[in-house]
Chain A
Amino acid sequence: MSSSPSSRTTAFALHALGSSARAFDGVAEAVADVLDVHAIDLPGFGDAAGMTGTSIPESVRHVERAIRRSGATRWILIGHSMGGKIASVVAARALAGESELFGLAGVVLLAASPPSPEPMEEERRRDMLSWAADGRLDADAARTFVDANVGARLHPDADALALDDVQRTSAAAWTAWLEDGSREDLTDAVGTLDLPALILAGGEDGDLGEDAQRRLNGSVYPRASVEALGGTGHLLPLERPLDVAHAVRDFWESTAGIGPAVPADVAAVIASPRTSARTRGLLARRAVADDPHATPAALTDVQLATLRVLADRIVPQDGAGIDIALRVDAQLAAGGGDGWRNADLPPDREAYATALDALAPLRTHSPREIDAVITRLAAGEYDEHDALSAAQFAAWFEDARVDLVRQWLAHPATMARIGFDGFANGGDDVFTGFAILGADEREDWEMLPVIAR
């Protein structure tokens, strides 16, 4: 892979209440070989303590602006505690195409506040509010707050930083989160976020511990794996920077980063106002990596494995692949056909199941042997099974090829590969269309195709 800045992946990190971007320094250093961590001071915290718009929507816009300004086109979000709630909103808006951002590949939550109201004892809330009643948070408050949130004493440097960050926090932001932000119910606005996700919990954390994470964030992120760090309180990035870094790196390499990357210039066009929000959202959701451990929804495990073997031959993909077989499985489960089927075939799911059962032995065959079978399937000469006639196999196989190739082409990385930019033919505010239509001509905004001629 090239290492030009824009093709590196960025992890945008959002800190907790009373904390700041600096809290991620340790994590950033330890993952620097695979990810650029770009931690953001949220309004009212750290270097942004002077900012006044500290509500959740304002914080979300602030984060989106920072991501847009960075030019990142492939990125993940890391959200710690309060920052986790904001990360979930940013993620939801990105996947819906609402934020003129493109390239979100995954979300990491660290002891995160959920989109629903955060569980918090009223007494604790009242105490914490009282610390800021006189307009600033003092050293005593900071000491009490940090001590209440760690599993064991922090390393002295981290401790000093944590205490300083609490005292840097604007009282208004502190109060706004405790009184409003933490209580806001954004469950509906966020919905479920079907993308690679990692949820880390502190084994000794209180209200936002492992159990709460599974219940409140696990339901938002159906794909998330939830892990607890033993002996750890609430301040994960400060308490266990190396363990967090290790988990983030593993998440990127095994889960979030395994799909094909959409080239940076194409991603920028998708993010731009030339592309409608709805279209951007469709492409954003298709661009996230497939779940390598997904349980098939319509097929059995063996049927899916057989379809994957066929898919590799029908649509050979170079490099990081799209799991088009899994995507066809999802399409079958959703009942989404193409409006018709060959009258000689049983209903789609049944046809797939029957044909794939019959072809299951192919899983252990060599590519050459598989190709020989495919040739006969396509020609209507495959008559080795009672389950379907040769003509039925041919009809099913035609449908299967169409389904597979469409899933391949629907991915924005494939659109980029074949030089198709028709998705950017008009946005929501100005309907641009195309001004230049001739052969060998292109408009300034049009990106060059990935495959050279």
Chain B
Amino acid sequence: MNLTDMRTFADDEIVDAVVVGTGAGGAPLLAALAARGLRVVALEAGDNTDPHDHTPDEIAAADDINWMDERLSGGETPTAFGPNNSGRGVGGSTLHWGAFAPRPSAHDLRLRSESGLGEDWPIDHDELVAYIERVERFAGVSGPSHYPWDPDRRYLFPPVARNASSDMMMRGCEALGIRATDAPAALVTRDHDHDHGGHRSACANCGTCHQGCRNGSKVSMDTTYLPQAVAHGAEIRAGSMVHGIERDASGAVTAVVYRRDGVDHRQRCTNLFLCAGGIETPRLLLHTGVGNSSGQVGRNFMAHGGVQVWGRFEQEMRGYRGYPSSIITEDFVRPADADFAGGYLIQSLGVMPLTLATTLVRGAGLWGRELVDAMDDYRFMAGVGINGECLPSDGNLLELSDEVDDDGIPKARISFSAGGNEDAIDRHAIRTLTSIVEAAGATSTMVLPRTAHTLGTARMGTDRERAVIDPDGRSFDVPNLWICDNSVFPSSLVANPALTTMALSLRTADRFLASHKP
């Protein structure tokens, strides 16, 4: 994005707020604070990119916009990082996210009350939805004119074009009596101009959302909230990796230490917002020893179930054309025959070849002729996949390993083992997905297990013994430290996380501003 004429601050100037990370959790609040006239600086570890420079090439794109510093993944079912779930750059993971933008259901926020398992959110559903609507209106989300599971809902932009995978899923669902429709997609389907001057072109169905949208269509923080923030006087410092937090005798944050081009700098501030994502936020807190009197930092790591079922069809599907996930069904948010807490959403899937091959190896264990044959069938394949509830669990956690990275910070070690509830959801989902794909005419099917998203490692709650931040988003331990990103999720939600994270970001800004004495 264009940062040439932005306002800048000196390191020794005491700014009102430093925001660490410019992804879904950091960007909206940066814009909101700047709009209120606060002096704010965002420190972003990744580079600043121009949308035009993205490439559909999967290898180059991963190096550009994914978090490729090594993390250690353990447990019974280690989750894949890198291109699978973490972004890096001005815009964070929204540079490469899939823009599938369902809203969480009221059930999602009351998981414990309704099922006795997991956690409730200390936030009212109506309040959250009001913030979500603000995000949808500002950033631009497209969707159907009639949303079967929430008839009052309206989307600003007409739905994104369907591709062969979409037609397949619609066909399969219809045959089975499952309701399915155009998915809420965080992209503009008509040209759209923002008040702060940014132009967004209508989605061109190029299919490479995960490699970065070159068209400005997809909601990415660098084409939506960040230009707004800069227009209101925020500074964004790219290539700035925060690794230290300085505090005064009372324990309040006074500055952050960050490394840029190999040199350490110290930015003084009166408030700190950590928005570095579900892995880097807890890693930084553990590394600096800040905010962890509860011992909950790094705990309750959650990764959504993401199992996929792919079918081989007689027709050429070539699902890399078009927006990758344009159909949704919410019929399984709370399935009647569930033997588990929570549920799952289903989406149609388009996939790029290297991503598919990676899943074929990791998920299905293929090699040799079978692997090559599967890829020779690539153009005949179409699939459906889920986003499924994951319960918080004691054994699933992030710790600092003994190994350090190039900056001398210990690498994160994440342990994740799917539990009985996750396994039960997977079994149910595999049955459903397989029947959809078969009903749509697949001649053979393949199950590809996978998990996605990094949630819950600095969770929000009402009990300071069991949570890291309070319901406003403020650290229980450090009064001028706020956290807003995927790490604050008390439960995983059945809905994919980013829209909720953006909404939380606006809410955190409001809560902060309400308590802020200039």
Task: Please tell me which stretch of B134-142, B264-272, B373-381, B495-503 contacts chain A, meaning at least 4 of its Cβ atoms lie within 8 angstroms of it.
Answer: B373-381
A437/B321 in contact, CB under 8 A: yes
> In the complex, which of the residues B75, B83, B208, B375 contacts A418, with contact meaning CB atoms closer than 8 Å?
B375
B205/A435 in contact, CB under 8 A: yes
Interface residues of B, count at CB 8 A: 74
The verdict on B162 contacting chain A, using a C-beta distance below 8 Å, is yes
On whether A339 and B81 interact (CB within 8 A), knowing A418-B353, A426-B214, A426-B215, the answer reads: yes
> In the complex, which of the residues B86, B164, B317, B413 contacts A343, with contact meaning CB atoms closer than 8 Å?
B413
Contacts of A405 in B (CB 8 A): 357-358, 360-361, 371, 375
Contact indicator per residue, chain B 47-80, by CB within 8 Å of chain A (1) or not (0): 0000011011111101100111111111100101
The verdict on B315 contacting chain A, using a C-beta distance below 8 Å, is yes
- In Å, the complex CA distance between A113 and B62 comes to 38
B68/A337 in contact, CB under 8 A: yes
Chain B nearest CB, measured from A433 CB (Å):
3
The verdict on B517 contacting chain A, using a C-beta distance below 8 Å, is no
Contact indicator per residue, chain A 416-440, by CB within 8 Å of chain B (1) or not (0): 0111101101101001111111111
A434/B55 in contact, CB under 8 A: no
CB-CB contacts below 8 Å: B326-383 with A: 352-354, 357-358, 360-362, 365, 367-369, 371-372, 375-376, 378-380
On whether A313 and B368 interact (CB within 8 A), knowing A282-B60, A439-B316, the answer reads: yes
The verdict on B322 contacting chain A, using a C-beta distance below 8 Å, is yes
CB-CB contacts below 8 Å: A370-408 with B: 371, 374, 378, 398, 401-402, 405-406
B365/A339 in contact, CB under 8 A: no
B368/A402 in contact, CB under 8 A: no
Most chain B CB atoms below 10 A, which of A405, A418, A436: A405
B73/A342 in contact, CB under 8 A: yes
The verdict on A283 contacting chain B, using a C-beta distance below 8 Å, is yes
The verdict on A1 contacting chain B, using a C-beta distance below 8 Å, is no
A418/B358 in contact, CB under 8 A: no
- In Å, the complex CA distance between A409 and B272 comes to 44
The verdict on B207 contacting chain A, using a C-beta distance below 8 Å, is yes
- In Å, the complex CA distance between A440 and B317 comes to 7
Chain A residue with minimal CB distance to B203? A433
Chain A nearest CB, measured from B450 CB (Å):
13
Chain B residue with minimal CB distance to A436? B321
Chain B residue with minimal CB distance to A432? B204
Interface of A is mostly: loop
On whether A279 and B55 interact (CB within 8 A), knowing A339-B86, A343-B72, A420-B320, the answer reads: yes
The verdict on B505 contacting chain A, using a C-beta distance below 8 Å, is no
- In Å, the complex CA distance between A345 and B116 comes to 38
The verdict on B192 contacting chain A, using a C-beta distance below 8 Å, is no
| Number of A-B residue pairs having CB atoms within 8 Å of each other in the complex | 189
- In Å, the complex CA distance between A303 and B83 comes to 28
Chain B residue with minimal CB distance to A395? B78
Contacts of A340 in B (CB 8 A): 70-73, 80-82
The verdict on A451 contacting chain B, using a C-beta distance below 8 Å, is yes
- In Å, the complex CA distance between A390 and B27 comes to 45
B378/A339 in contact, CB under 8 A: no
Contacts of B16 in A (CB 8 A): none
Contacts of B67 in A (CB 8 A): 339
Contacts of A417 in B (CB 8 A): 376
CB-CB contacts below 8 Å: B73-114 with A: 73-75, 78, 80-84, 86
On whether A315 and B57 interact (CB within 8 A), knowing A422-B320, A437-B322, the answer reads: no
Contacts of A401 in B (CB 8 A): 361, 367, 371
The verdict on B415 contacting chain A, using a C-beta distance below 8 Å, is yes
Chain B residue with minimal CB distance to A401? B361
Chain B nearest CB, measured from A343 CB (Å):
3
On whether A343 and B415 interact (CB within 8 A), knowing A338-B62, A426-B206, A426-B214, the answer reads: yes
On whether A341 and B368 interact (CB within 8 A), knowing A406-B358, A418-B375, A431-B215, the answer reads: no
Contacts of B59 in A (CB 8 A): 282, 406, 410
CB-CB contacts below 8 Å: A327-379 with B: 336-344, 347, 371, 374, 378
The verdict on B510 contacting chain A, using a C-beta distance below 8 Å, is no
The verdict on A276 contacting chain B, using a C-beta distance below 8 Å, is yes
Chain A nearest CB, measured from B369 CB (Å):
6
On whether A398 and B362 interact (CB within 8 A), knowing A338-B83, A437-B321, the answer reads: yes
On whether A419 and B81 interact (CB within 8 A), knowing A278-B55, A438-B167, the answer reads: no
A437/B354 in contact, CB under 8 A: no
B86/A316 in contact, CB under 8 A: no
> In the complex, which of the residues B66, B206, B357 contacts A433, with contact meaning CB atoms closer than 8 Å?
B206
On whether A339 and B68 interact (CB within 8 A), knowing A313-B368, A401-B367, the answer reads: yes
Most chain B CB atoms below 10 A, which of A338, A435, A453: A338
CB-CB contacts below 8 Å: B397-415 with A: 401, 403, 413-415
Contacts of B72 in A (CB 8 A): 340-343
Contacts of B62 in A (CB 8 A): 338-339
- In Å, the complex CA distance between A426 and B207 comes to 10
Chain A nearest CB, measured from B228 CB (Å):
23
Show 21 A/B contacts (Cβ-Cβ < 8 Å), sorted by A: A278-B60, A282-B60, A315-B372, A316-B372, A336-B68, A338-B80, A341-B73, A343-B415, A405-B375, A406-B59, A409-B354, A410-B57, A418-B379, A419-B318, A420-B353, A431-B215, A432-B206, A433-B204, A434-B206, A440-B316, A453-B380
- Starting from the known contacts A340-B81, A409-B354, 6 additional A-B residue pairs (CB-CB under 8 Å) come to A314-B368, A401-B361, A419-B316, A422-B56, A425-B206, A426-B206
Interface residues of A (CB under 8 A from B): 276, 278-279, 282-283, 313-316, 336-344, 347, 371, 374, 378, 398, 401-402, 405-406, 409-410, 415, 417-420, 422-423, 425-426, 428, 431-440, 442, 449, 451, 453
Interface residues of B (CB under 8 A from A): 52-53, 55-60, 62-63, 66-75, 78, 80-84, 86, 161-164, 167-168, 201, 203-208, 214-215, 313, 315-318, 320-322, 352-354, 357-358, 360-362, 365, 367-369, 371-372, 375-376, 378-380, 401, 403, 413-415
Listed from nearest, the 5 A-B pairs whose CB atoms lie closest are: A339-B82, A433-B204, A343-B74, A340-B81, A433-B206
